[in-house]
Structure 1
Amino acid sequence: MITNNHIFPSLISLVLLLNAIHAVNTGPNALVLNCGSSNSVKDADGRTWDPDAKYLSVGGNSTTAKAETQDPSLPSDVPYMSARIFLSETTYQFPLQNSTSRTLLRLHFYPSSYPNLNISNSYFSVVAGGVTLLNNFSASLAAEALSQAYFIKEYYMPPSEFTILNVTLKPSDKQPQSFAFLNGIEVISTPTLFDEDPILAGSAGNDFDTSVTIPIDTSSMETMFRLNVGGQYIAPVNDSGGLMRSWYDDSLYIYGAGQGVALQANTTINYKGLPSYMAPIDVYGSYRSMGAFVDVNRISNLTWIFQVDPNFMYLLRFHWCDSEMTKTNQRVFDVFINNKTAASEVDLFAWTQSTATPTKKDYVVQINNNKTNNNTEAQLWVALHPTDKTKAEFSDVLLNGLEIFKLSDKSKSNLAGPNPTISDMMKKYQEAQLAPKAFETNNPNKSNSSTSFSVIITGAAGGAAAIGVAAAIFLFTFTRQKRNPNGDAVSTWLPISWNSNSTTIKSSPSGRSQGGTTSISTDAACNCRYFNLSEIKNATKNFDESNVIGVGGFGKVYKGVIDGDTKVAIKRSNPSSEQGVNEFQTEIEMLSRLRHRHLVSLIGFCEDNGEMILVYDYMGQGTLREHLYKGNKITLSWKQRLEICIGAARGLHYLHTGAKYTIIHRDVKTTNILLDDKWVAKVSDFGLSKTGPNMNQGHVSTVVKGSFGYLDPEYFRRQQLTEKSDVYSFGVVLFEVLCARMTP
């Protein structure tokens, strides 16, 4: 979850950012191509995407197509709404202005429906510079497995003696009517990002002079994870060096209850000797440490778990910047990768000889398949542990950023992994959280190449079983990835493009919609349907009481029918309700831009003749609360309860990480988790939600709103709202589901 502040760039930073974007688009070492487009067009960030046709080699059979639907989660229609369709093997030829440096290659996929094509038939391979990037790849399966509309694959190709990079797409011979497709391509000549060979984990610890290093000059790489540890999502336009990289929240991958604390640097960060393109300053300005509980820290680790493809080597880049320590031997810790010592006695001040100085260090590890089974996935563990060998002043660890790259195999010609499946991912995550590996305590008698570390789970013994169930549900859901374990797709929750242009809703001082200055964005208004009052009355038989299916703080909810046979739920504001035009506005602003399988969908709204009415998809099975207690509708099985909780957690986490800014629901409870006809859970009722870039203290100071029994006590006491308040409320929901008892 996002726990740190969103930092606005200063005017100077903004100028530099615009210059960087301009350099990426117009510089001689970058190509940004909109596949299937005949003209140069700009995306929502102002980047110019050029046509791709002139880079196609002679031969091959390709055509252009337009996507038939535009998913609301797309950040821009460019490059995703146009595509090039490949019906036979076809090659792009991209000129390399600087073949002595690595080339960053991004492939954009939007597996939507295209005219006269069945996207489920699309299986294909992609080969770049002689390296197989994708093999028998299904973008449709990848998107379905991660419940997302679009994704990006990112690769670093090694320096080449050639001045042309060939990228070949070939439809599968095994699949009838197969075709390949591509929506966008970026080809960027990078600066020297990988300036030294990485250290093999387990080879020498902190003795860098004798460590074994692995040459990677000729290795191709795929970006698997790029995390802003302890910080928020960093969008491509805010990346450094004009490389347009995305940096994601790390809390999705933290193991167990030891989340540590996410903090912001309390001093100015300067790059000093490190090139600024290594990572944006926001990465070095936020970090995660273990916190102030010394006794707990000494026997614990701060641990992250990643699902990866077996039988590959992985390069892990650690970004560090200690903005607190002012002398040596204050904070010293060990770094473990898959139970092997990557570095021991890491003292960042001793490394840099100054405070607030960014540095990075690369390590590599081989991930093999588990010989006891045929799993197509493996686990990569990263753990930091305070060491007591040096008698350091503090017992703590620190990490600012982490990048993980898959290295091409021993033949240097393959990076492809298998297609992901939903069932495989669920099984692996349940195994990881319910039956984690047992790691041994540090044993000085063991060799350094296999030094073990302990994973300590702390907490009250009482209620451990219930908390374990809750944690399993929550952690499984929250461990969705930027790349899926096979490297086939990016995060389910991708940034949403927000538009500040607005249109006016008239409202009265009383909060009724008649004559004030409250407004919603034009983007929100365009993304949902406007109903006049006569349409609403016709749908509800003039608000017939027999059609009432619920009553909430906003008003009554009616079952209705629109467009002849489409069932909808119609929420009508009560003039005497405490929830007025602000809640009405918030609901429209939120749901018009949010589209997720586990969020209730807003169809439209009515603001007519003093009425404030919202129209949603009809949820045939009602609320979760209605099914938990004896005498209420259908009693849920344990499997149904688990699936409902997983779905609700997915929706909630999407709110916390999927948008440009954190969205805090503020009213998570069993009556606000709705179930459709297929028992799919959907989070609803966003009238009290809070969002925005103004969380400059890591929280929003606001009056307390919500439902007693579900309220976070810290929020209630301090009136400081964070996404953790939603997590607390969801925890109450989990216990309610587990025990079938109402909150007091």
Structure 2
Amino acid sequence: MRASNAKFLIWILCALCLSSSLLSEFTPDDNFLIDCGSSSNNTVGDRLFLSDNNPNGKSLSSTSKVSTSSELDMFSSLFQTAKVFETTFLYNFKIKKQGRHWIRLYFYPFVSGNFSLSLAKFSVSAQNITLLKEFQIKSGSIIKEYSLNLTSSNLVLTFTPIVNSFAFINALEVVSVPDELIPLTVTGVEKVQNSLGNRALETVARVNMGNQTVLPDNDTLSRLWVADGPFLMHNDQVVVGKFVSNLTKVNMTGGLEIKAPRLVYGTATRLGADADTFVNVNVSWSFDVDPGYEYLIRYHFCDIIDLSLGSMIFNVYVNSWKVDHLDLGNVTSNIPGTPHVLDTIASPMDSSKFKISVGPTNFHEFSTAILNGVEIMKISDSRRSLDEPSFGLDSKKGSNVKVGLIAGLVAGLVVLAILATLVIVLSRRRRRSALVRHLKEEENLGVNGRECNYTVGSVAFLNSKFGYRYSLAAIQEATDNFSESLAIGVGGFGKVYKGMLRDNTEVAVKRGTSKSMQGLAEFQTEIEMLSQFRHRHLVSLIGYCDEQNEMIIIYEYMEKGTLKDHLYGSELPSLSWKQRLDICVGSARGLHYLHTGSTKAIIHRDVKTANILLDQNYMAKVADFGLSKIGPEFDKTHVSTAVKGSFGYLDPEYLTTQQLTEKSDVYSFGVVMFEVLCGRPVIDPSLPREKVNLIEWVMRRKDKDQLEAIVDARIIEQIKLESLKKYVETAEKCLAECGMDRPTMGNVLWNLECALQLQGDEKSRHGKESSSQADLSNHWEASVSTTQFSTGSAVDIASMSMSKVFAQMVRDDMR
């Protein structure tokens, strides 16, 4: 008995030593800890905060005892002093190692004499990323934690007071963290890969299940993990969650203390009231979040329960989405106590809550569920912001007092205002009725019994939940009053200008040319479509403006312009074959998300190279959703609608039947693929008659002696034959006459990624292989499918006169 006790004590000591070594294994290259406003250094736990030796600003000390929450008691000394700034102030840090860093900001609005920090209102930014916008804290203490990927040797934290106010900070940290802490890409709940490489994160929640707080001293990255008790949702019928602890069972390997400390994995909240009870409900936690952002959600699991019955197979949820069907034993190689981390990206959509749940599956009657910890991190948006108020709502606070005062002083004006309002309402009702009648006639489908959500002259999106409404003055300032020198494009809707917002965000501003009924319908459609989704391969909506009869949409700026401009018709450098493949893959991902990312498919209806934009890294994003349509109901196969799109890209089946499906986008994308391969326009009336239509020309040119004329001469030496074969096969399948015979965008994406893998890193086909022109020709003949393209189809222009070609193109532009 004594011998067994001695072995147990030795095992415990070894575990403690291992824990200690893991906790100390990471030493940050950058470790700036500043007690702002303090004249002396301050030790907090095992960390030393240096005094703020900057002579600028005012240094204040609290004249009363600091009151903090129990979790923040250890930081109380940091909240006793503060640095105050009445003008814009910069903290400048010299960074030794680029990469991910914590930025932690400490705030406590104490009173010092006649000075109250609760009156401060200010903004904070770093690396041109808005961390806090018009921030004000009335009471209590708070630590704001951010994770930024620093890419230079200098970090500037900017504190900017609003007019007639000031800024303050009690303490701050800038600390480097391990590169593996935040992955470069994460698969979201929509099963779409999201890039986090250059995105800033804000910690919204970091919770340790098992209802135990883990202090920064017990975390190798000095993180605070709060207890999950306050977040746990209760069920009236049964005690769903049970707190458990078993530190001795945790098997920390591979430096996993970077993701979370041993104390997190050694405690958990499990499903069921006791070890032998299994209930068919979920255990859930509720967290407050800001709508309109994406969030990185990190789940921490560790099997620390000794089960006499059952298994660790369960479902993981966020809100109504199932993140994973998790077999904890399988993912940890059935090694007891091994931690497992699950990352996903989700958006709360219209809600301001995240409901995190784990629960049993229908297939494992005696399974239980467990969660050890969870982290929720807000992801910066396309405006490089983590905290941006809605435009047009800035002055809402205090408006009741002003309105009451004005009403008391000039009561007589109220009557006049009411009369004027009645006149405007009646006028708008007449115009709105005309608009609804027009839309019914245009689509021949009515408005489905819904009230039209916009009015001529002042677009009022009554039920929308999308981005921000900008003033016309702000847009004029951003575009130098729509200077022609900033014009970067023109389309059927109007001109596009490059602009610069006040926060130095580069934007593209699309300005409608008229208030035609069709233009207004496209204006609303594009904004409503863009507001429903956000994806790395879809151009993001930043805002809109509908003042003074304007129709203006503001997008993220795409530095490299359109794919079309890089293929032909400009002096831009030619794209390599590898770049073209990457662009096709990205575009396919964007379209696949449109078709599958929501309950009903979104059909783009105008897929073409002019609507595929490239950012500074040549990453492709699909743009221009003015013609988009919501897909058919679940019991329908298509949407019946008037034919719209661009000549040369139109699906012949849609053109003849007026029945629109997702496969219409697939056809247009097949045209894009051949346009990318051949490097020439889809319709070129300047060419000889047999070459005018690209698709017909390509399908006729399968002979050996004419193959060189089909593939863009600038890339033919770069293409690996296996990659070309897969690419051409995919494009031809997209162009099948019958929509049922075409692949889905998911299948297209898979095949394009396969073509990309087959291409590999080879730069020159002829330089590394003995393939001749005959090899390429034989490949072409072998890869051509049995799909036939009738020269008498609706898209045939070979038999049309040039006047008809141009007339059709003009009609298309008018659409």
TM-score, normalised via structure 1 length: 0.47
Of structures 1 and 2, the one with the larger relative CO (CA 8 A, separation 6+) is: 1
